[in-house]
A and B are shown apart, each in its own frame.
Chain A
Amino acid sequence: MGARILLVEGRADTEFYTAWCSKSGRKVDTKPPTAVGATIDSKTNALFMLPEILKQLRDGSVERLGVVVDADYKLEHGLGFDGSFKKVKDALVEGGFGHPTTVPRSSGFLFPHPDGLSPVGLWIMPDNRREGMLEDFIEASITETHELTDRGQRAIFSLASKAVSEIKTPLFKPIHQAKARSPALALKT
């Protein structure tokens, strides 16, 4: 049986998605760009290495492939949702895949293959629609996850959010506030 690869942007993402997939019982090999040939980890390199992985589908060495990238922000020199989607779609169409089947965006995108390969999945953080990143998805999940309904953890997150918002001279961009707040969600109460 071939590899089941989830291509992500970097090492931190790898740890997050590996833990997530493990918790939901999915056997997936989460790989950042450096694990598939890039010299450094980045979204750009994840997209750049995508064709390299696609060509390994033909002989079954890679059996299934999923891609998770951040949409980022156009105003911050990112691709945004549209640009990110187009980059992945173009690579998949070039690799022989069709356009994604019509599914609710909350389920991500599935690119079918007309000649027998498993469809390739795509999720663009945070919600396949808006600009943003993994941390925005995590925050948006707070009310949906059992652990985060815990009152103690909610209290910690509230404190972290307050502390971040009150920083007088932040050394990070406003778009990265979620990155500053979200580590509090990993704390055990």
Chain B
Amino acid sequence: MKPDDVTEFSGQTLIVTTSRAEQPRWIPLDDRAARRRFPAASGGDIPVGYVPTRFLASAHLADLWDGVALTANDEWITKALQIIEPRVQGLAFVKRAEERLGLPRFGLDRAAIIKLKDIKRPVPLNSMGDGMVRILPLILSLFPAKGGGFYLVDELENGLHYSVQKDLWSMLFEFAESLDIQVFAATHSWDCIEAFAQVACERSEPSVLVRVGKSVLTSEAGRSVATLFDRDSLAAVTQAEVEVR
């Protein structure tokens, strides 16, 4: 299937549109290799932020932070970290102590430190628990997608307690709206879906839940197909816990 042939959501391919490109862009659901090439497949002219399930190197996060530090978007980072730890007042990336002391670096680069209310010395982010460590790449990876781009995140809920997921979704909705970003989040977590559904029903921005499954139609022979749940359906997803995983 060529991109130019695709004009609608076909079930085999996720079609995405953006103000940055005249033609719809496409993410094939059945072709794992093509999915990995997605940023390149979209022609390289669309900004993309991507958060995989694997660990993101501190050096990469520091580079992302460099592009945001002391800009109008800086406050979003603090706001995101405050979802997990309300005492956070600021973030910076600094050389690690080993490097400053001339010790072996083991390939390490700058590390994130945060300022906490009522604590005089900066605190290493890594000492704050999984939630803080996970939410930082989630927020920093948003910025490369601003201005009509795509933000792709795999297993959004990884490392995050269910009780903070609604706040995270609220922030993503707000951020996506103000910076013109389309958010695509993959999950197998009911908590994550429920939090998304609650926020989607409360807000006015367009949002949809896409369940990807295997067709049982004879003619489709087990191919991947998508089932859409719009805002009205999402209310039922929350209330009745319709099986959407």
Residues of A within 8 A of B (CB): 2-3, 31, 34-39, 52, 55-61, 115-117
Residues of B within 8 A of A (CB): 211, 213-219, 225, 227-228, 232-233, 235-236, 239-240, 242-244
Name the A residues within 8 Å of B239 (CB-CB).
34-35, 37
Alpha-carbon distance between A3 and B242 when the two chains are bound, in angstroms:
9
Are A117 and B216 in contact, with the CB atoms below 8 A? yes
Instruction: In the A-B complex, list the 10 residue pairs whose CB atoms are closest, starting with the nearest.
Output: A37-B236, A59-B213, A116-B218, A60-B216, A35-B240, A115-B217, A115-B219, A115-B218, A37-B233, A116-B217
Are A60 and B211 in contact, with the CB atoms below 8 A? no
Are A61 and B240 in contact, with the CB atoms below 8 A? no
Name the B residues within 8 Å of A55 (CB-CB).
227-228
Name the A residues within 8 Å of B236 (CB-CB).
35-38, 52
Task: Report the minimal beta-carbon distance from B197 to chain A, rounded to whole angstroms.
Answer: 11
Alpha-carbon distance between A34 and B236 when the two chains are bound, in angstroms:
8
Task: Report the minimal beta-carbon distance from A59 to chain B, rounded to whole angstroms.
Answer: 3
Which one, A3, A61, A116, contacts B213 given CB within 8 A? Answer: A61
A-B contact pairs, 25 of them (CB 8 A): A2-B243, A31-B240, A34-B239, A35-B236, A35-B239, A37-B240, A39-B235, A52-B233, A52-B236, A55-B227, A55-B228, A56-B227, A58-B216, A58-B225, A58-B227, A59-B214, A59-B215, A59-B225, A60-B213, A61-B213, A61-B227, A116-B216, A116-B217, A117-B216, A117-B217
Alpha-carbon distance between A58 and B211 when the two chains are bound, in angstroms:
11
Name the B residues within 8 Å of A56 (CB-CB).
227, 242
Q: Report the nearest A residue to B233, measured CB to CB.
A: A37
Alpha-carbon distance between A39 and B236 when the two chains are bound, in angstroms:
9
Alpha-carbon distance between A145 and B215 when the two chains are bound, in angstroms:
42
Name the A residues within 8 Å of B240 (CB-CB).
31, 35-37
